[in-house]
């Protein structure tokens, strides 16, 4: 999409553009047979995604670190949509222990799983390590979702096989994946505080989201699984995600106001990729403003994607032993 299209909202090939809202891109779609997990579904574009999916009839599981806030978000949805099916489960993506506990709690519900939306994240935070000893942005934005997806994959495969309904996984990335460290992913310096850059570390984690989607898509296609995996850039939206850089973002927004979206517009690409029937069988792609876009050269590097996959598996295995 060009800058002109972004500013004017002119629709792309899909018929939608930067001005389209989540409700608009899902109008007329019946999701009543679907069960969806939305990480970070209790605030920002995650909440709007949860609301619109519930509006279309889906059973939505809000996975959130702050369950009090998530339950309030659930009530907001129920106040608007009387028959909405919404549940809340605790999930702290920076903790592999919490991820494993969430998966156990989800399995205990004995529900199918059609769609997984890896939405939650942190942005531009000061250097810190997770409880597993991993740099926080990489741990939360990538590794937590990598483990979550891996642990839920058998459930998604089984659901797709028994229902005949295609499963879909959506990773929320960002155009920030263009601004990463040299080499894309600095495997040997993930926890290097001296050379840490909060902006590049965020870009690295968002690049990892795309590479994860591409490699998982390749692996699922190899085994013939009826599941697609795609990544999206929601656009520039002022949400609680920006709490570590609120002043900088307000200054940026002042000078680039025409490029920013509101929350309903920000949730549109996620909902489009999760539900639109025209995307049946489409996998391993990157979307912006509800249209396919080409990501960076790093994001298209299959060797880098495989290296990240192996590196992530080793990190996950190391946390299981600690």
Pick from 261, 68, 52: nearest CA to 60: 52
At residue 236, the pLDDT reads 76
Residue tagged active-site, from 16, 181, 196, 298: 196
221 and 214 Cβ atoms separated by less than 8 Å:
no
- Region 182-196 average pLDDT: 97
User: Which residues have C-beta within 8 Å of that of residue 89, sequence separation ≥ 6?
Assistant: 61, 62, 63, 64, 67, 102, 105, 106
**pLDDT tens for residues 248-306?**
545 444 434 445 689 999 999 999 999 999 999 999 999 999 999 999 999 999 999 99
| Res 126 pLDDT > 70 | yes
End-to-end CA separation in angstroms for the chain: 45
pLDDT bracket for residue 3 (50, 70, 90): very low
| pLDDT at residue 320, rounded to an integer | 85
Domains recognised in the chain with CATH numbers: 3-320 (3.40.50.720)
Query: What pTM value is reported for the model?
Result: 0.92
pLDDT digits (tens, 9 = 90+) for 76-121: 999 999 999 999 999 999 999 999 999 999 999 999 999 999 999 9
The whole-number pLDDT of residue 153 equals: 98
Given a cut of 50, is residue 204 above it in pLDDT?
yes
> What pLDDT, on the 0 to 100 scale, is given for residue 9?
60
Average confidence (pLDDT) over 52-67: 98
DSSP 199-260: HHHHHHHHHHHHHHHHHHHHHHHHTT-SEEEEEEE--B---GGGGGGHHHHHHHHHHSGGGB
- C-alpha dihedral, 241 to 239 to 45 to 5, nearest 10°: -110
Phi and psi of 188, rounded to 5°? -85, -5
Query: Residues 138-156: pLDDT tens digits?
Result: 999 999 999 999 999 999 9
Q: Give me the pLDDT at residue 322, please.
A: 60
The mean pLDDT of the chain is 92
Quote the percentage of the chain above a pLDDT of 90.
88
Query: For residue 34, which of 52, 64, 60, 55 has the smallest C-alpha distance?
Result: 60
Clarify whether 196 is annotated catalytic: yes
Token readout for 281 is 């069988």
What confidence tier does 190 reach under pLDDT thresholds 50, 70, 90?
very high
147-166: average pLDDT: 98
pLDDT at residue 228 in the model: 98
Indicate the length of the chain as a whole number: 322
pLDDT (mean) for 148-177: 98
pLDDT tens, 210-247? 999 999 999 999 999 999 999 999 987 755 544 444 55
CA proximity to 22, closest of 220, 234, 308, 193: 234
């Amino acid at each position: 999409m060009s800058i002109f299209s972004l500013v004017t909202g002119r629709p792309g090939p899909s018929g939608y553009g930067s001005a389209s809202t989540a409700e608009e891109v899902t109008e007329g779609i019946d999701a009543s047979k679907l069960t969806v997990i939305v990480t970070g579904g209790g605030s920002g574009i995650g909440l709007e995604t949860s609301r619109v999916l519930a509006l279309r009839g889906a059973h939505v599981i809000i996975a959130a670190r702050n369950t009090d806030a998530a339950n309030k978000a659930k009530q907001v949805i129920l106040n608007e949509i009387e028959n909405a099916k919404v549940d809340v489960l605790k999930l702290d993506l920076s903790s592999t222990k919490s991820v494993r506990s969430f998966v156990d709690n989800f399995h205990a519900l004995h529900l199918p799983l059609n769609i997984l939306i890896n939405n939650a994240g942190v942005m531009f935070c000061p250097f810190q390590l997770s409880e597993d000893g991993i740099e926080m942005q990489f741990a939360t934005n990538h590794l937590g979702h990598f483990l979550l997806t891996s642990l839920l994959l058998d459930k998604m495969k089984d659901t797709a096989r028994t229902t005949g309904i295609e499963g879909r996984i959506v990773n929320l990335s960002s155009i920030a994946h263009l601004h990463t460290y040299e080499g894309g992913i600095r495997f040997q310096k993930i926890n290097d505080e001296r050379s840490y850059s909060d902006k590049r570390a965020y870009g690295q984690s968002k690049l990892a989201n795309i590479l994860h989607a591409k490699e998982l898509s390749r692996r699922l296609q190899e085994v013939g699984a009826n599941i697609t995996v795609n990544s999206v850039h929601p656009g520039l939206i002022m949400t609680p995600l920006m709490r570590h850089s609120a002043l900088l973002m307000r200054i940026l927004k002042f000078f680039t106001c025409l490029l920013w979206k509101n929350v309903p517009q920000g949730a549109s690409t996620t909902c489009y990729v999760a539900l639109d029937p025209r995307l049946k069988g489409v996998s391993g792609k990157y979307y912006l403003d509800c249209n396919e876009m080409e990501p960076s050269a790093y994001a298209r590097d299959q060797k880098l994607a495989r290296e990240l996959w192996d590196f992530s598996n080793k990190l996950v295995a190391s946390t299981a032993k600690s």
